[in-house]
Amino acid sequence: MVQARVTEPARPRIEILLAAPRGFCAGVERAIQIVEMALAKYGAPVFVRHEIVHNRHVVTSLEAKGAVFVEELDEVTAGRPVIFSAHGVPKSVPAHAREHNMFYLDATCPLVSKVHVEAARLHGDGCELVLVGHAGHPEVVGTMGQLPAGAIHLIETVGDALSFAPHAPDRLAYITQTTLSVEDTKAIVDALKARFPNIIAPRKGDICYATTNRQESVKRIAAECDNILVIGSPKSSNSVRLVEVARRAGCNNPCLVESAENIDWQALEGASRIGITAGASAPELLVTEVLNAFAERYQIEVREVEVTRETVQFKLPRALTA
Ligand code: SF4
């Protein structure tokens, strides 16, 4: 529950609309919990391949508890556990770990794993596969790495969809990254469907509930706000998408901030209503710090605008709960 703090009467008034849901999703909470439980069970250091989630604050606080973040498995000290990040990994990564008798825990979000399973099933059914996503994002690298090189075509834009030349236009299927803009993805998928009416869609949409809900909640407040601050890392796909969604939904000045220290106060001058949300990898503590920074400069009135309540929880790996 966010409390409004009353400040000096001389300070200008500002209304803050807090989008809800915002911040941590069930996949991020699970990934962080896996690292913390592994530290408790096996002691430090516990290695984590890639940032467990794309948030500097989360990474720094896990480092302080004994987690060591590496980019590749050959940086892991022999005999120590290694955890794969929430974004998922190519099949070659666990295969390498097994070959070298490494003990690993997989913190891949179950909703990303669902896309991996889907990709394998569709490939097994003889489909040519399209992945709608952003090149280089670790989730995309992980999903493309579920199948042999060349088996998945990456499509990033409507232009890509229009120029795509499949080998088997009648045996085509698509999957998507979980953290895309719902609207951009629809435009790309519509372009694919217009060209390939028989293209097979995922059984259930691949954009996850958390991405969808955070976009819905920022859309709800966007047109009413002079500025919107999206708390999150520039590396966080769903945070960057929230800025785009806010702009498209009618806010002229949405921006991404990693924390309260990064707020450009000059850019907020003259604003009477500010929206605040946070990407799925940004902890609520960062939202509280931003609210406190506002309370030091303004008389703030905070109103939470909730579009839905989330109750999703994912199981932890058995190795940690047994
Ligand atoms: S944003 Fe979605 S896919 Fe990514 S970790 Fe959260 S729930 Fe999972």
Residue 217: which of 244, 237, 245 has the closest Cα? 245
**Which of 109, 144, 159 finishes a domain?**
109
For residue 118, give the CATH number of its domain: 3.40.1010.20
Same domain, 180 and 133: yes
Atom 2, ligand 1: residue with shortest CA distance: 208
Query: 87 C-alpha to center of ligand 1: Å?
Result: 8
pLDDT at 64: 98
Low-confidence ranges of the chain (pLDDT < 70): 1-9
270 found inside a domain: yes
96 and 137 in a common domain: no
Ligand 1, residue 208: give the atom nearest the CA. 2
Q: Coil, strand or helix: which one is 172?
A: strand
Number of domains in the chain: 3
Amino acid 203: pLDDT: 87
**Which residue range is the domain that position 266 belongs to?**
13-24+209-306
Distance of CA 115 from the midpoint of ligand 1 (Å): 12
My answer on whether 147 and 75 are in the same domain is no
Per-residue pLDDT, 293: 98
Rounded-to-integer distance, Cα 156 and Cα 154, Å: 6
DSSP assignment string, 82-108:
EEE-TT---THHHHHHHHTT--EEE--
Q: Is residue 316 part of a domain?
A: no
Whichever domain contains 78, its CATH number is 3.40.50.11270
Q: Which of 74, 91, 109 is the last residue of a domain?
A: 109
Given 109, 132, 158, which residue is the final one in a domain? 109
Active site residue 139: yes
115 and 188 in a common domain: yes
Q: Which pLDDT belongs to residue 183? A: 94
- Among 22, 32, 55, 109, the mutation site with the greatest number of ligand 1 atoms within 8 A of its Cβ is 109
Determine the atom of ligand 1 nearest the C-alpha atom of 110.
Answer: 8
The predicted pLDDT at position 322 comes to 86
Residues 127 and 156 grouped into a single domain: yes
Contact of 263 with 231, CB cutoff 8 Å? no
Q: Answer yes or no: is 203 within a domain.
A: no
Pairing of strands 273-278, 13-20: parallel
Mark whether 213 and 167 lie in a shared domain: no
Ligand 1 atom at minimal distance to the Cα of residue 86? 5
Instruction: Render 230-250 in DSSP notation, one character per residue.
Output: EES-TT-HHHHHHHHHHHHTT
Residues with CB under 6 A from ligand 1: 25-28, 86, 109, 111-112, 178-179, 208, 210-211, 238, 280
Specify the pLDDT at position 204: 85
What pLDDT does 9 receive? 62
Q: Is residue 94 part of a domain?
A: yes
Q: Please count the other Cβ atoms lying within 10 Å of the Cβ belonging to residue 101.
A: 8
